[in-house]
Structure formats: C-alpha cells, structure tokens
Amino acid sequence: MVWGPLIAGYLFLAGAAAGAYLTAVLVERLDPEARAMRFAGRILGLVLLGIGLVMLMIDAEAGLKNPLRFIYLVMNPESVMTLGVYFICVFMAVDFATCVLEFLKKPVPGALTIVGSVFAFAVAAYTGFLLGVVNDYPLWNNSVLPILFVASALTAGLAAVSLVGMFAERAAFEKMALLKQIHIGLAVLEGVALFALCAIVYSNSVEGAMAVSSMLTGSYAGLFWVGIVAVGLVAPLAIAVAELKSENASESGFGLALGAAGEVGALAGSFCLRLIVVLAAVPLILV
Amino acid sequence: MARYGMLINTKKCVGCFACRLACQMKNELEVKESFIHYEDVEKGKFPRVYAEVVPMQCMHCEDAPCQTVCPTHATYTTDDGVVLVEEERCIGCKYCMAVCPYHARVQIESTGVIEKCRFCYENGEVGKPSCVSTCISKARIFGDLDDPESEISKAIVAHNALPLAGNLTESKIFYVR
Amino acid sequence: ASPDEQGKGSEVSRGFTLCNGCSSKCGLVCTVKGGRLWTVEGHKDHPYAKGTACGRAHGVAQMAYSASRITTPLRKTEDGSFVPCTWDEAFAEIGERVKKIQAESGPESIAMIQDPRPSGKYYSKRFINALGSANLYTHGCACNLSKESGLTEVIGTGKYSTDFGKAKMVMFVGRSYGDGIRPSSVQSVAAAADANCRVVLVDPRLNNTGIFATDWVPIVPGGDLAFLLGMCNVLIEEDLYNHEFIENETVGFDEFAAQCKEYTPEWAEGICGVSADRIRELARAMAKAAPAASIEPSWRAVNGCSYANSFETARAFCAVNALLGSFGQKGGALLTSTPSFGDLDPEKFPKVPKPKVKRVGDAEYPLVLDSMGSAAVAAASGKVKAFFFYNSNGARGYGSPKMWTKALEDAELVVTIDIQMSETAMQSDFVLPECSYIERMEVPEALGGKKHAVAMRLPVIDRIHPETKSCDEIFAGLAEACGVGKYFGFSVEELSEAQLNTVGTSVAEMREKGVVALPDPNFEYKVPKFKTKSGKLELSNEKVGATGMNPVISYIPRKVMPGEGEFFVIGGKQSIHSHTMTLPVESLNAISREYDMERIWMATADAEKLGIETGDLVEVYNDNHSDKVAVKVTERIMPGVLFVPSHYGGKSKDLSLAYGYGIDMSDYLDGDFEPHVGSIMSQEVAVKVRKVQA
Ligand SMILES: Nc1nc2c(c(=O)[nH]1)N[C@H]1C(S)=C(S)[C@@H](COP(=O)(O)OP(=O)(O)OC[C@H]3O[C@@H](n4cnc5c(=O)[nH]c(N)nc54)[C@H](O)[C@@H]3O)O[C@H]1N2
Ligand SMILES: Nc1nc2c(c(=O)[nH]1)N[C@H]1C(S)=C(S)[C@@H](COP(=O)(O)OP(=O)(O)OC[C@H]3O[C@@H](n4cnc5c(=O)[nH]c(N)nc54)[C@H](O)[C@@H]3O)O[C@H]1N2
Ligand code: SF4
Ligand code: SF4
Ligand code: SF4
Ligand code: SF4
Ligand code: SF4
Ligand SMILES: [Mo]
C-alpha cells in the first residue's frame, strides 16, 4: 500500500475544510445574522486544512526530515500535487484574510468570497483528482471518484458547520431548511456515486474487482457497510429526512442529540470513505 | 549522447535473486529495500505447465509518469536517458510510487526518499550495473540503445525484445518472453 | 575495528577470495569501501563462477557483519547455558578430555565431521589422524554419498560431467541447476538451450530449471530407478545401444541385458508413473542423439542420499550412459582430471602416520565412499565418545535430529567450530568461533576439468572480532593441547606457499590474480580409462555382490510408500539458501519472507480435495513429528507429492530469524540408513496433511 491513514486523514480534512468554507458562504447568503456558523465555517476551513497539512508532512518523511525541501513543492505545475499546493495557498490566504476581516468585524468583499469559493471548490476537487490521475489503481482512476470526493467533502463541511449551528445558533440553524435539503441531496448523490464507483471498477479489471470485493465482502467490509453506508449515509439521511418532516422534533433534547449524531455520522462516514479508498485500492499488475 | 537501456531475457532467468542482492550491496540498501522485484507466472494445468519469473525494476521510461507527477522535480531524466531521483529535493510524498505502473519505487528507510534503480549511476555517469554483472545465466544485457552496433541493440533485434507494457511509458527495459 | 567503525571513509580497494556459500567455493572479487565489504562479484577465471556470483554469495559474505556471529569461545555450563571462556581455557580443557577419552576408549572413539573446505579438509584430517583416529567424515551421508559410491563402483570415480557445449540431448533426473546453483552450470545449460539442445527434466515438480527445458517428465519420487531401467530395456530390446562401447569397454553386459528383460516400460510405468510410451520415446530420442546425449550425473535428490535405492540409481545412471556410448564423447558424459599438489618438505610438514583402527561404520556399510564415510552411521553406532564438528551442522542436517541429539548427549565431549550458534553448536560442550571466510586465508584449492587451475581464499577485510580465529589457528591450538602439536609447526601461509610452489605458482601470484591457470592437461574426447578393478565400466560388480546385493545393476524399490491419505515428500534447494546455514542471513531471510518461500508446495488437485488454498496453514505429520506451515498451491507439482523446501524449520533459538520459520523434513525421518552405503535416506518419508487455519 502506497499511502495509509495519514493521507486518508489529509484527504478528508482538506475536503472538509473546503466544504466548511463553502458552507459558510452559503450561510452568509441564507442568514447574514448567523455569525457563529459563518465564522465557524471560515475558521474550520483554516484549522482543518492546517491539521491536514501537518498530517501530509508527517507522511512525507524525507520532507519531514528536511522541511526546507517542501519549498520545492511548487516546482512542477504539471503535477496535480503542485496544483493542489497552489489551490491550497490561495484558498488559505483568502480564508485567512476573510477570518481577519470577520474578526475585525469588517465586511468581506464579494470578490474575495468568489475567489475563495472557487479555490475552495478546487481544493475539494483536487483531492479526488490527486488519486484520479493515478492510472495504476482502478479504484482511483475513474471519473466517478472526484465526484464522490467532492460530494463527500461538501457533506463533511456542511456537517461540521451544522454541528456548530446546532449548539451555538440553534434557532437560526433550524430555519435553514436548505442546508438539510442540500445535505439530503448530497447523501443521495454520494450513494449513487458510490454504487457507480463499485459497479464500474468491479467490471473493468481484475484488480478493480479485487478492490471492490475487499470493500464489499472482504477485509474492508466492516468499514464499508458500517462506516460508510450505515453511519455515514443511511443514518444521517434518515435523521435529516425525519427532521425535515417533523417540524419541531429537533427542539427537544433528544432531537438535538439525534441531529448531532447524524452530523457526526456524516463526518465519520466521510473519513471512512477516504480511508477505504486509500487502503482498498489494488494496483494493476502488468505481467 | 548515449541512451541507456537494458534487456532482460526471462527465457533465461531462473529467479535466483542474485541481481536483487548484488544491487542492494552496490547501492548500500537495507535488506528489505530492493530496486528489483519479481513476478511469478504460472500458466496451464498439470502436467502441461509453463512457469516463468519476470524480474522488474525501474524501466527508465521515456514518458515517465513518476517524473510528470513529482511535485518537486526531484525525479528527472539525465541526458543519457536515465531517470534519477535527486535526494536533496525529494520530500517523500510517494506520488511517484503510486503512479509507477511497474511498482519500481522503494522507500529508503533511513532518509524517507523514494528511490529506484539508477542504472548504477555514479559520479555523474552510468556505472557497471551490478545486476547485470552478477546474473548467473547472463539473462541481462545493458548498453546504448541508440548505438545499433551495441550488444543490447543487436539482442533486441535478434530476440524481438519488447517493453513489458507495449508503449505505455516508452520504457527502456526490453524483455524477451 | 568494530563493525560500526569500519566502513567510515570511502577508499575503495579490491580483494580475492573463494565464496563459502556452498561447496562450490566459487572465486570472488570483492570490493572494500573504507575497510568495509562493499560488493561481491564472480571471478571471471574461476571455472565455477565464470564471472558471476549467485545470490548466496552476496548474502553469505555479509555474515561477517552479522549480529549472530559468535565472538568468543563458549563452554557449556552445568545448567546447559553457555558462558564465554578464553581460548587457552577452551584448548586446555578440550585437550585434557581428549587425552582421557583416548586413554579410556581408544583414539577410535573420537570423530571429526566436516563439510570439506580448503583449509578445513586439510587441517581436520591431519588433526584427527594425528590423534590416531581414522574417523573423518564429511556431510556426504546427507548429500551425495550414494551417488559417488555408486558411480565409483561402475566407472571408478565418483564424478563425471555433462559436455553441454556439444550436447544434443541432456536428461536431468532429480537435479535442478536453476535451484541447486553453481553459476557455471546455469550458464552451460542456458547455452545448451540456446543451441537447441533437448533438455529433459525428470522431476516430480517443475523446478526453476524449467525455463531451459523442452520436456518436463513428472515422476513418482524414488521411482527413478524403474524409469532408468525401463529406458535400458528399450535401448537393449530395440537394439539401440552402442555395441562398440558395450563390447569393448564394459563388463557384465550379458547379465545386465538378461536382467533388463523384465524391466519393460509398462513395468516401469506402474512404479514411476511415467507412461510406457513416453519412456520409449525418450529412450529412442536419446539413442538418436547419442553419443551427444547423456543423463546428467545429478547430486543429491535422487541418487545422492534420498532413498533405499539411491546407490543403485546412481549405478543405473551409468548404465544408460554406457548403452548410449556417451562416456568420453563430444556432447556426452566426460571424465576429467584434477591436478594435485606435489610432495612437501617432510621436515616442515611431517606426514601423519596412518591410524590403525578402521573408521567406525565402514565395516557395516562396506560400499561407503572412502573419502566421505557416513557421519550419521558413526553417530548412531554409539561408539563415538568425542565429536568434533568443523563448518558442519551435522546434528541437524545429517539425518534424524533426534538420533543426533541422543548421540551427542551420550558423548563425553562435543566441540563445534562455527561462526554462529547452529543447532549442532547448541548441543556442544565447547563452541569455538572461527572468523568469517572473508577475514581469513586458507590453503589453495586445485581445480580440475577440461582445464586446470588453482584458486585460494585470501583475507578481504581485517578481522572484525579479535577473539575469533581461523581454521588453521584453531586446529593448531587444539593439536597442541592434545599433545600432537608437532604436526602443526607451520603457518597457513607457509603451507600454501609450499603447495603452490609444487605447481609452479606462489601466494604472491594468487594475491595478484585470485585464480591461476595450471598447465593444460590436454583433454581429449575419447573413451576414458575407467579406474575400476576390471579397468572397464562395470555393469556387474564384485564388491557390490559381496554385500549380498545383486552384483548386476537391478531394481530395488524405495522403502517407505505412502498409504491411503498420505503424501510423498520431496526436498529441494532454493536459490538463495544453502542447507541450514543461510536462513539467519538477514538479506536472504528477508527474501524468503517477502516471497513466502517457506511454503510447502501442494498440487491443485490435492488442495481441492483437502479444501486448502494458497496461504492456508496446515499441519504436516507422521509418527515421528508434527509441525505447521503455510501452503503454496500450484500446478507445478505431481498430485500426491509435497515439496518441502530444504532450508527451513530452524531449531536454534539464538538464530531468531531461522527459529521456527517453516518446517524441516529431517524431523520426519525414521533415522535409519541406506543398506550397505550408510546414506540417511532423506526422502524415505510419508506424511499426512490437515488444514488448521485459513
Ligand atoms: N541454492 C543452493 N544451491 C546449491 C546448494 C544449496 O544449498 N543451495 N548446495 C549445493 C549442494 S551441497 C548440493 S548437494 C546441490 C544439490 O543440488 P540438486 O541435486 O539439484 O538438489 P535438490 O534441490 O535437492 O534436488 C533437485 C531436484 O530434485 C527433485 N527431486 C526430489 N526428489 C526427487 C525424486 O525422487 N525424483 C526426481 N526425479 N526428482 C526429485 C527436486 O524437486 C529438485 O527440483 O546443490 C548445490 N548448490
Ligand atoms: N535440513 C537440511 N539438511 C540438509 C540439507 C538441507 O538443505 N536441509 N542439505 C544436505 C546437503 S545436500 C548437504 S551438502 C549438507 C550440508 O551440510 P553442512 O555442510 O553441515 O551445511 P549447513 O547445514 O549449512 O551447515 C554449515 C555450518 O557451517 C557454519 N559455517 C558457515 N561458515 C563458516 C565458517 O566460515 N567457518 C566455520 N567453522 N563454520 C561456518 C554454518 O554456520 C553452519 O552451521 O546438509 C544436508 N542436510
Ligand atoms: S518505471 Fe516507474 S519509476 Fe521508473 S521511470 Fe517509469 S514510472 Fe518512473
Ligand atoms: S516522493 Fe520524492 S521523487 Fe517521488 S514524487 Fe514525491 S518528491 Fe518526487
Ligand atoms: S542497474 Fe544498478 S541500480 Fe539498477 S537494478 Fe541493476 S544494480 Fe540496481
Ligand atoms: S540474476 Fe539473472 S537469473 Fe538471477 S534472478 Fe536476476 S535476472 Fe534472473
Ligand atoms: S554457487 Fe553461489 S554460494 Fe555456492 S560457492 Fe558459488 S557463488 Fe557461492
Ligand atoms: Mo550437498
């Protein structure tokens, strides 16, 4: 296995960071007064990505031992990894500036938000393409994976910000039905993408079939069915649907706990997805 | 300028690992680090069976995906066609490892650098590849692909030797199979 | 300098030695960087290396730096643990005990067991004979004793070689150049395959020489004798044999031909599992290619030491080649000469008197080869009170380990000279540490063949552990302590110089070249002079007859036949390992583990019946032993046969990389010997297999 949990963690955190930032943008649109959620999204954008980058650097042993070498990361614009570095740099700079303005209670210029959103999306998408361009691993090298990763990134960001909203700004949060609708929409999209990924990868190569089998019935079956499907997709989906249907359920303590559980589940599922995709991939053998 | 390549004749290889071990010593690798690995092929049913060992290492691809993805330009190609890793630039991100279709990349434990066969490059030029000189069945030939008179060029023609994966990466290791 | 200090700096120098990875002792060129061994290459002038070196050469050279080296003499205490002692203490106590045993039980109760190495065979022989004992044994009883004994009774020498360069057809019967490696052999079969020689592999499994083979003939283990006699039947009955050779150069043909009548291919098929048609086809093809066709002489697996019929199988090899008339012919089976050193100054190198009592075991096993003896027979006899081992892990590798443990427990003194804590060392009273081979000089070795040469081991690096000694120093010390020091009043360098001078070269020239060519023996293709009693190739032999065996080459069945639900077991070398000694070598062990090489092979058909898949753990058991190991399921082996790679199942806890890794066939042995010869019958085993875990 080329990469392990550290890189899975990085992919998850980078996606969640971008998702959180984008959620903040949306929250700003929906309710300019919901400052906690907005601010949280922006801060999470920085913090999660920061932690992710630390994990990335720990995994890159030669760089860790000689940190100055990380400067060379910008050298090869042909590499998705270098592109990612560009995206991350711009995104983090914008997010940082946004946070400073937010902290100083100054208005954030619309143009900055647009740039930030574009690069946040780029960060979310690049984590998918980083793996997607690796021809060698059928589980990675397909057009579904980036979609799945983007959906999962947005879900994770949304979930993180929702958690904050639930506890810090409950009233405002409850009014934003669109967030839950998006949540549901993303979960459905993810489910479909996951199914498509398995079906396509399974049928296209022996190694792909091996990878998918290990996910569905083999050594990663627990992680897949419990972590991704049950905890990460079905449960949050069910909870979100239930919440949408029963207007005031979430006002109870139980409702809050359930809602929070759903969001935590979505986060966990998003991490499990990265983990399984990193670990279960089987390379093509050319002999 | 020469363009170096290698021929591996699997019709002669007995899978003895001498090349791996000689390479490890020459390149001062740890025992678990190896620039060469082997794929066992078994075809047919008893008693009509064909068995073959395919030694694999960096193919010094002309169209090297590891070089394309290397974010730091640590991976580069010399003028004589040898793909090398500049240790001082490599951060150990393993991207090259992930994209190498031949699984030729190896992490060096002590430095974290992701290395591979260097065609025994020493002091700025190709040396005498140890895997070739130790090969007990003379299954390996090293030399200049651009020189039609070289032993390797002649052998490639004589045996119709081909890269392992067609022109997937324009590999410079040719196999007789 | 300590191993850590060595290797600093980057000055590169070069040195010559002979590999100690196996008995081939190939010439090596080593480079040393900053005082530490860097690379190893085969010497281009060495006839076995031919410029290349096998995997073991690289790994074994690194044993010098191994953490499992023994660095001081060790003696066993009452509680069975080892404590370091000085050389003086070790020598003094060993000397005292040897003298006591000599006085009480006679010198004939002392034995020396060694795997012949250049200095080892010279010094160990001199030492044991100086003590008055003829009990010098090699590893032969577990290797090629039956083969060399068998060949000797037919062609007057234990060796012949295949003339690959000109051969049209070669048959391997239980020999794999691609696994039991000697580089020159691999090169020769590769060249033969290039020249479209038909290469036939007779083997229950498709071994790694398969890549050069035109035919794989799976055979029932130990059924080889029937197969060979079936071919003889075809050659004689279809009148395909070489009349001129048979009439002029052999004795006993008429009896042999009469005997062969019953060995029809159909009869052979019933025993060896090779179809009668195929036996006929192969015999006819060999006859057609003759005399540039022969059966390669083989080494261990079939005619070496494995079966109750190994000796007879070795004789049958010669019978086939005789019928083909291939002895001495282009592309056939060659008998070549080996040079020897001349007489040395008797003052400086006094001759040791011949011991009076015959070697233990020779009387009961009269066909045993003189230059080998059977160490296992000696151990089982109960007559040996003191054992010396040099470069040998006999107590594990020469037959039933249980039998050896009893023999060593019953003995009064066991001394092992080794570089690591082998199973034998573990069971010794004293363990004497030799320096590794790249740290020492040894006496030169004369090399025979179509051309003659001499090569020698010279130190490549400085001694790493100051309290280790070289073979010559150890034997000189032992001899002094045992009161026979007068036979050892010279250094290894003086001895080497004297020996080399007798063939016109010197240590200085060896230092410069590593390998030196000797005058051309002018090899010619012609029927060789057979050094048998009759001077001819003996298809019937008096000495064999005198034991009660049929003097004529004839059929003997293998001893142990698997019953219902049981498997045959065969062993075999792996390219990166030598016997028991290399599994603790880090770089070689790492390969075994990376490629799961300890797994036993099982045929797909058998595995399906037992519900076993590759990687599953099974229990392999018989009345003597039970052990667990993983399985490799493959089409490359005959159903009903298990292949157990030979190098696994270490029992010495000190060699942690080898300890308990894989299984060792020896543990399953009954501990008896091939009649009249004394080989260990290493494959007279049947086992059952049960799946324990997926
Ligand atoms: N790698 C390596 N090479 C070595 C050595 C080593 O330890 N390791 N040691 C050297 C020494 S000392 C020796 S003795 C030689 C041994 O060299 P070989 O004689 O070639 O030794 P093995 O590998 O024991 O057996 C050879 C083949 O015989 C097959 N075989 C087993 N049983 C039977 C049988 O009943 N009938 C037939 N027809 N075939 C059978 C095995 O499957 C195997 O493929 O190798 C020498 N070279
Ligand atoms: N289990 C098992 N038994 C076997 C075989 C097998 O493959 N497996 N093979 C059989 C065959 S074909 C043969 S030829 C014999 C070989 O039998 P041995 O010659 O006894 O071979 P090894 O078992 O390798 O043991 C050699 C011993 O010499 C030691 N040694 C290594 N280098 C040196 C050195 O420089 N100096 C000294 N003093 N000691 C050194 C090693 O540590 C080891 O303990 O074994 C036979 N028995
Ligand atoms: S074989 Fe792999 S490591 Fe070597 S150049 Fe090609 S892609 Fe790069
Ligand atoms: S591990 Fe080193 S050589 Fe490989 S892609 Fe990363 S920086 Fe380049
Ligand atoms: S060419 Fe040199 S570096 Fe490459 S595999 Fe051979 S020995 Fe190793
Ligand atoms: S040294 Fe030669 S024969 Fe041995 S594994 Fe390598 S290529 Fe094959
Ligand atoms: S065959 Fe290999 S291990 Fe044996 S002496 Fe030669 S190089 Fe060494
Ligand atoms: Mo042997």
Q: Find out whether the beta carbon of B93 lies less than 6 Å from any atom of ligand 4.
A: yes
Angle at A173 between CA A170 and CA A175, to 5 degrees: 115
Q: Find out whether the beta carbon of C101 lies less than 6 Å from any atom of ligand 7.
A: no
Q: Residue C174 above 60 pLDDT?
A: yes
Q: What is the pLDDT of residues C66-90, one digit of tens each?
A: 999 999 999 999 999 999 999 999 9
Q: What is the predicted pLDDT for the residue at A285? A: 87
Pocket test for ligand 3, best of B58, B73, B172 (most atoms within 8 A of CB): B58
Q: Residue A251 above 80 pLDDT?
A: no
Angle of helix C276-289 versus helix C224-237 axis, rounded to 10:
60
Chain B residue whose CA is closest to C574: B16
Give the mean pLDDT of C123-138: 98
Domain at A106, CATH number: 1.20.1630.10
What does the alpha-carbon distance between residue C178 and residue B13 come to, in Å, rounded to a whole number? Answer: 9
H-only helix segments in chain A: 5-30, 35-59, 61-65, 80-103, 110-132, 144-168, 170-175, 177-204, 206-216, 221-222, 235-245, 253-280
Print the domain residue range for A54. Answer: 2-286
For residue A219, the number of C-alpha atoms closer than 13 Å in the C-beta half-sphere is 9
Q: What is the predicted pLDDT for the residue at B105? A: 97
Query: What is the SS3 assignment for A158-190?
Result: HHHHHHHHHHHCHHHHHHCHHHHHHHHHHHHHH
DSSP C355: P
Q: What is the pLDDT of residues A110-164, one digit of tens each?
A: 999 999 999 999 999 999 999 999 999 999 999 999 999 999 999 999 999 999 9
Q: What is the predicted pLDDT for the residue at A250? A: 53
Q: What is the mean pLDDT of chain A?
A: 94
> How many residues are given for chain C?
694
Q: Is the dihedral of CA A60, A147, A212, A229 positive or negative?
A: positive
Q: What is the predicted pLDDT for the residue at C4? A: 45
How far off is chain B from C638, nearest CA to CA, in Å? 7
DSSP C270: H
Q: What is the pLDDT of residues C323-357, one digit of tens each?
A: 999 999 999 999 999 999 999 999 999 999 999 99
Total number of domains constituting chain A: 1
Query: Strand order in C453-455's β-sheet?
Result: C445-447, C453-455, C515-517
Kindly write down the DSSP assignment for every residue of C635-646, as one continuous string. SSB-TTEEEEET
Are C and A close enough to touch, i.e. 3+ CB pairs under 8 angstroms?
no
Evaluate the omega torsion of the peptide bond into residue C291 and state whether it is cis, within 30 degrees of 0.
yes
Q: Residue A53 above 70 pLDDT?
A: yes
Do A269 and A236 touch, CB atoms closer than 8 A?
Answer: yes
Give the mean pLDDT of B113-141: 94
Domains defined along chain B, listed by start: 4-175 (3.30.70.20)
A66, A76, A131 ranked by CB distance to B71: nearest: A76
Q: Residue B42 above 80 pLDDT?
A: yes
Per CB-CB distance under 8 Å, the chain B contacts of C634 are: 42
Q: What is the predicted pLDDT for the residue at C3? A: 42
Which of B122-126, C46-50, C158-162, C679-683 has the lowest average pLDDT? B122-126
| Model ipTM over 0.90 | yes
Do A202 and A194 touch, CB atoms closer than 8 A?
Answer: no
Q: Residue A252 above 80 pLDDT?
A: no
Cβ–Cβ gap C59/B21 under 8 Å: yes
How sure is the predictor about C6, in pLDDT bands with cuts at 50, 70 and 90?
A: very low
Q: What is the mean pLDDT of chain C?
A: 97
Report how far ligand 8's centroid is from the alpha carbon of C608 (Å): 34
Chain B residue whose CA is closest to A55: B93
Q: Residue C206 above 60 pLDDT?
A: yes
Cβ–Cβ gap C576/B10 under 8 Å: no
How far, in Å, are A247, C129, C358, C389 from residue C95 at the CA level?
100, 15, 23, 16
Beta pairing class for C74-76 and C430-433: antiparallel
How far, in Å, are B25, C284, C332 from residue C280 at the CA level?
50, 6, 20
Q: Residue B126 above 80 pLDDT?
A: yes
Q: Taking the model in full, what pTM does it have?
A: 0.96
Per CB-CB distance under 8 Å, the chain B contacts of A81 are: 69, 71, 93, 95
Q: What is the pLDDT of residues A155-196, one digit of tens each?
A: 999 999 999 999 999 889 988 889 989 999 999 999 999 999
Give the mean pLDDT of C592-600: 98
Q: Residue C2 above 70 pLDDT?
A: no
Q: What is the pLDDT of residues C614-664, one digit of tens each?
A: 999 999 999 999 999 999 999 999 999 999 999 999 999 999 999 999 999
Collapsing DSSP states into helix, strand and coil, what is residue C346? coil
Chains touching chain B through at least 3 C-beta pairs below 8 angstroms are: A, C
Interface check A70 vs B, CB under 8 A: yes
How far off is chain B from A51, nearest CA to CA, in Å? 17
Taking phi over 0 as left and psi of -120 to 50 as alpha, with beta for the rest, C638 belongs to beta
